[in-house]
Amino acid sequence: DVLVNQIAAGEVIERPASVVKELVENALDAGATRIDIDIEEGGARLIRIRDDGGGIPPNELPLALSRHATSKIANLDDLEAVATLGFRGEALPSIASVSRFALTSRPSDAEHAVRLEVDGGRIGAPTPAAHPAGTSVEVRDLFFNVPARRRFLRAERTEFGHIDDWLRMLSLARPECQIKLQHNGKQVRLYRPGLDDAGRMRRLLDALGDGFASQCLAIDQEAAGLRLFGWVGLPTASRSQADQQYFFVNGRAVRDRVVSHAVKQAYADVLFHGRHPAFVLFLEIDPRRVDVNVHPAKHEVRFRDQRLVHDFLYRTLHQVLAETRA
């Protein structure tokens, strides 16, 4: 039902960056090791995402475009563990209902790819296509049939900035996957993959540049079943680090008051008052000790034991920062 999908799109798809987010998360769910993203005109004209993941079997292509069809919930435990990034099964039909959309996919054991075009929600017939193993999704003329939405799109630079910002965050969370970003035919970012120390450092460099990567301290501490690892900017670093604050809980980007407070307090108590700390930190915690569904956008979490998390963060950062002053 095109109208139902358009209404759902109103909730899920706010701007080109929301499309990129949904499609990239699908690619990651499919086990992609390489994701190529092509954007034209800030995403208003074209968003094309190609991955080398598992692909979609031809007979399941139409299903992928129907509402609440998801291959990702096997049982209730899955839902509770929020094992994969997406689980609502409505991103593709929503996006397809407000754009000129095409899905081309080939599982590695299939002889050729199949392509399905959808124009403003109307699904065409599947046709054979040439495509390497994996999936491409093309989204053209986003909101062409929802003028009120289309009018709300900001300047090309602004919309592209949202895409770029979100991908930078994601690139830090998922260092195992290579991600390439092009805008109007020019390569803007290349996030090289790597999971060892050198690879992660290279990723940090690709994401945040030399200003952060050359002036930070590595952290890796465990206590009380919690692990904190990543990097904190040296308090002596330039002010341009100010907006570089990334915190991930079990791989999910999170903004949280308990976290910000602990970090700020640690910096303040080591006498770096007034500095804006820069950090890329990953907290690993038993999923049962944290609620991730506090907010639908899932940037918020609620720790079951806020005090414990706060004190662990505070003590770890305080110790590392104090050592740099000694």
Q: List interacting residues with ligand ADP (CB under 6 A).
A: 22, 26-27, 30, 51, 53-56, 64, 70-72, 86-92, 135
Instruction: List 252's β-bridge partners, or say none.
Output: 249
Q: Which does 66 bind (CB under 5 to 8 A by kind): Mg ion, ligand ADP, none?
A: none
Residues 108 and 288: their CA atoms lie apart, in Å, by 36
Q: Which does 71 bind (CB under 5 to 8 A by kind): Mg ion, ligand ADP, none?
A: ligand ADP
Q: Which does 53 bind (CB under 5 to 8 A by kind): Mg ion, ligand ADP, none?
A: ligand ADP
Toward Mg ion, which CB reaches closer, 30 or 278? 30
Under rule CB under 5 A, which residues in 79-98 are in contact with Mg ion?
A: 86, 91
* Sign of the four-CA dihedral 191, 170, 174, 280: positive
In 54-117, alpha helices (H)? 61-64, 76-81, 91-97
Toward ligand ADP, which CB reaches closer, 27 or 163? 27
Under rule CB under 5 A, which residues in 266-285 are in contact with Mg ion?
A: none
| Neighbouring residues of 189: CB distance < 8 A, sequence distance ≥ 6 | 164, 167, 168, 171, 179, 180, 181, 206
Residues 153 and 85: their CA atoms lie apart, in Å, by 26
Element (H, E) at 259: helix 257-269
Toward ligand ADP, which CB reaches closer, 1 or 286? 1
Under rule CB under 5 A, which residues in 15-34 are in contact with Mg ion?
A: 26
CA distances from 164 to 1, 3, 184, 268, 289 (A): 33, 30, 13, 31, 32
Toward ligand ADP, which CB reaches closer, 170 or 309? 170
53 binds Mg ion per the rule CB under 5 A: no
Least distance in Å: CB of 67 to ligand ADP?
A: 8
Residues near Mg ion, by CB under 5 A: 26, 86, 91
